[in-house]
Structure 1
Amino acid sequence: MHDWFTEKGGAENVVSSLLEIFPDAEFFALVDFFDDEQRKKVLKNKKVTTTFIERLPFAKRLFRYYLVLFPLAIERLDLRKFDLVISSSYAVAKGVMTGPFQLHISYCHSPMRYAWDMYFPYLEEHEVRGFREKLLSYVLHKIRVWDVVSSNRVDHFIANSTLVQRRIEKYYRRRATIIHPPVDTERFSLCREKEDYYFTASRLVPYKKIKMIVQTFAKNGKRLVVAGKGPQLKHLKTLAAGNVVFLDYVDDAHMVELMQRARAFVFAAYEDFGILPVEAMACGTPVIAYGKGGICDTLVEGKTGLFFDDQTVESLDRAIEKFETMEFDYEEISRYASKFSKERFEAEVGSFIEKRWELFRRQ
């Protein structure tokens, strides 16, 4: 059970690994808008059973606007024939209905951030005002109530980071076991030859804080390469000086090369986990990161990179100045990153589920 299949990201990598563990699994989701290539990579061309949300007007482009209907849609999925249900959830998948003779294990990427800890920043970022603000507040209030109620349907939670574990405890009052998500570290081989540029990659949306990174490098004059596209691209280009290069979309091979040869990967977002920094470390590339969120589980200060304290130009610029006085062991960084490999994830999750299943069968 997954929230939705619309694009391939970290959550979908979890689904792919779960399919390696359970090759005969059947898949369910609110909607499935994968293209053929995505379906082959993530689901090995398996069919997904979806909900009525997929058939609503303009759903492919605007399905998130049907948020108020998500709980109803999830609860209409009939999973009675399954003894074991595994949900991969960052929205509503964990709310699927199961019975007393079914075991439900939820891999929680996070409780819904826009309904909980990102509620006020979300309203500010999207400039929601007036009647729209009151309507959205009411909808998200109802979603929070359902979110807590539906959390009681889960038998065991797995969290992808310490941050998410704390959110689960705070919002659901439930304990969760931390198993970090899979990172394809083998795709990012060690490179000892670094070039004189810093690198960042992301969707160009406000909460990723790429604007702050660009402003920092416009100020200090150091070379920055930015990979990614999104609604902020045009605006970011107006802020950048000649030392900042925007590459828009880059393919996988080019992404690896950019990460391998960068002096450092710059990461300024407040994320649940953060896969890109681990991929950079797999290349032996140090990471300069905002020191809150899931990155605290993956970056070792002074060994694989360093943190900066605030999401401000001044704080990041100080970290860059400090970074340039330090030396890093690229081989040690790459070895450390292997702790987050796909194989490690599959072994840990497989063992966790097997133990819980054996206990469940004995009841």
Structure 2
Amino acid sequence: MRVAIVHDWLYVVGGAERVLKEIIHCYPEADIYALFDFLTPEDRAKVGIRETKTSFLQRLPFVRRWHRAFLPLMPIAIEQLDLSEYDLVISSSYAVAKGVLTGPNQIHIAYVHSPMRYAWDLQHTYLAETGNTRGVKSMLMRYILHKMRLWDTRTANGPDVIVANSHFISRRIRKVYGRAAKVIYPPVQLSTRDIKPANRSHFLAASRLVPYKNIEAIVRAFEKLPDQKLIVAGHGPQAAHLKSIAGPNVTFAGFVKDDELRSLMASARAFVFAAEEDFGIVPVEAQSEGTPVLALRKGGSLETVIEKKTGLFFDAPEPDRIAATVRAFIETETEFSAETCRTHASRFAPERFRREIKSTVEEALVAFKPAVGPQFEQPQQLSARKK
């Protein structure tokens, strides 16, 4: 069976690329396609990519630095990838990958991380963050996003099977595309360290320092908790601003490698997570290290954190709500078990993901019936029936 795996684009290794890695692990002989690939050789090896077949966007100037500016070209670029020789196509899509063209004798399984957030429910946030809420440029961007929504909806009919990375995204797929989606949770790299009594002295927040991650609300919450220490790991355009408003009890670690981040998780009293994520791999990683999670009661966190067993929730990404939840955690901290957190995180192991992906493909193969033309009765059969 000839297999193609299609990913939106490759320029950093994030959560979607970890999913891609496990899909490649299931089908190591598959050909890998993407709009463009700017991964370093080291990152490409991490994902398990030998070679990538890319679109014409790979050759355009400035794509590496400003790839989101090329959003209007992405639908036509993904449609130019020639996949006609493959029996099975698996797309890993958070933008346009599910829109690849396949024929009636091909099976297309789309793993959808989310419908294109810039074009749908985050359109107004996207326009505000880019300073394009008014004027001619704003009108042009709104028109482009409108066209993207039309294309996104039309191409939702292409995949034979749609898989969502959470029930939260499954509901979004139903609302946007009008289609049912099977849920397969993303793979999470579980901790391999032994549980030992740890000197847990700090709280931890970790993500890209961008507005929608709500790190500012966490930093401001710890202004109200001067006797509690917070470490913020990550980098991004908000870094300077966050440092300017932080109190002396907040430390910024900047970008940290995976091993260092996992060590920070393992030594944290709790991991604080204020973003509304589609799934949220990092909170599960924290639980894998035996660390409870204090999370926003929205999005994927509702599926990965068990209230009062592996963490607590706050109802809004506001400093007062977050501070109150931290205080509530401190009062009940001894009731949280590192072993309970680790056991819960084991539900999201890579082996489980591979098993469910392979099972989904096998079910699709069994259900697949090659397209046949209409069956017309021969003239002699019609005559016999009339008699």
Normalising by the residue count of structure 1, what TM-score does the alignment of the two structures yield?
Answer: 0.97
- Whether 1:56 aligns to 2:60 is yes
Deviation at 1:255, TM superposition (A): 1.0
| Contact kept in structure 2, 1:191 and 1:284, CA below 8 Å | no
- Distance in 2 (alpha carbons) for counterparts of 1:39 and 1:262: 31
Name the counterpart of 1:225.
231
Aligned residue for 1:324, secondary structure, equals: helix
- Whether 1:205 aligns to 2:213 is no
Deviation at 1:62, TM superposition (A): 1.2
Name the counterpart of 2:346.
338
- Whether 1:350 aligns to 2:358 is yes
- Whether 1:280 aligns to 2:286 is yes
- Distance in 2 (alpha carbons) for counterparts of 1:9 and 1:262: 22
Higher mean C-alpha deviation, range 311-320 or range 137-146? 311-320
Change (3 A) 1:255 1:189: farther
- Whether 1:28 aligns to 2:36 is no
One of 19, 22, 35 as aligned partner of 1:17:
22
- Distance in 2 (alpha carbons) for counterparts of 1:295 and 1:18: 23
Higher mean C-alpha deviation, range 57-66 or range 144-153? 57-66
- Distance in 1 (alpha carbons) for counterparts of 2:252 and 2:194: 24
- Whether 1:329 aligns to 2:334 is no
Name the counterpart of 2:161.
156
User: Which digits, 9 at most, give the CA deviation of each residue in 1:142-168, with x for residues without a partner?
Assistant: 000000001111110000011110111
1:228 is matched by which residue type in structure 2?
G
- Distance in 2 (alpha carbons) for counterparts of 1:187 and 1:104: 35
Change (3 A) 1:39 1:216: same
Change (3 A) 1:59 1:331: same
Aligned residue for 1:325, secondary structure, equals: helix
Deviation at 1:191, TM superposition (A): 4.6
- Whether 1:7 aligns to 2:28 is no
| Contact kept in structure 2, 1:53 and 1:63, CA below 8 Å | no
2:282 is matched by which residue type in structure 1?
L
Aligned residue for 2:255, secondary structure, equals: coil
Aligned residue for 2:7, secondary structure, equals: coil
2:357 is matched by which residue type in structure 1?
V
Between Structure 1 and Structure 2, whose CA radius of gyration is higher?
2
Name the counterpart of 2:383.
none
After superposition, where does 1:40-189 map in structure 2 within 5 Å?
40-44=45-49, 46-128=50-132, 129-187=134-192
- Whether 1:319 aligns to 2:344 is no
One of 255, 260, 275 as aligned partner of 1:254:
260
User: Which digits, 9 at most, give the CA deviation of each residue in 1:101-155, with x for residues without a partner?
Assistant: 0000000000001111111122122221311211110000000000000111111
- Distance in 1 (alpha carbons) for counterparts of 2:46 and 2:259: 16
After superposition, where does 1:187-198 map in structure 2 within 5 Å?
187=192, 190-198=195-203
Aligned residue for 2:30, secondary structure, equals: coil
User: Which digits, 9 at most, give the CA deviation of each residue in 1:193-216, with x for residues without a partner?
Assistant: 242210011110000001110111
Aligned residue for 1:61, secondary structure, equals: coil
Aligned residue for 1:357, secondary structure, equals: helix
- Whether 1:38 aligns to 2:43 is yes
- Distance in 1 (alpha carbons) for counterparts of 2:193 and 2:242: 28
Name the counterpart of 2:385.
none
- Distance in 1 (alpha carbons) for counterparts of 2:194 and 2:66: 39
Deviation at 1:355, TM superposition (A): 1.2
Name the counterpart of 1:244.
250
Aligned residue for 1:241, secondary structure, equals: coil
Deviation at 1:219, TM superposition (A): 2.3
2:237 is matched by which residue type in structure 1?
P
Name the counterpart of 1:303.
309
2:247 is matched by which residue type in structure 1?
A
1:237 is matched by which residue type in structure 2?
K
- Distance in 1 (alpha carbons) for counterparts of 2:157 and 2:193: 39
- Distance in 2 (alpha carbons) for counterparts of 1:194 and 1:209: 28
Change (3 A) 1:53 1:175: same
Higher mean C-alpha deviation, range 260-269 or range 353-362? 353-362
| Contact kept in structure 2, 1:188 and 1:280, CA below 8 Å | no
Give me the CA root mean square deviation.
1.2
Identity %, equivalent residues: 48
1:335 is matched by which residue type in structure 2?
T
Normalising by the residue count of structure 2, what TM-score does the alignment of the two structures yield?
Answer: 0.91
Count residues with an aligned counterpart: 362
- Distance in 1 (alpha carbons) for counterparts of 2:263 and 2:105: 50
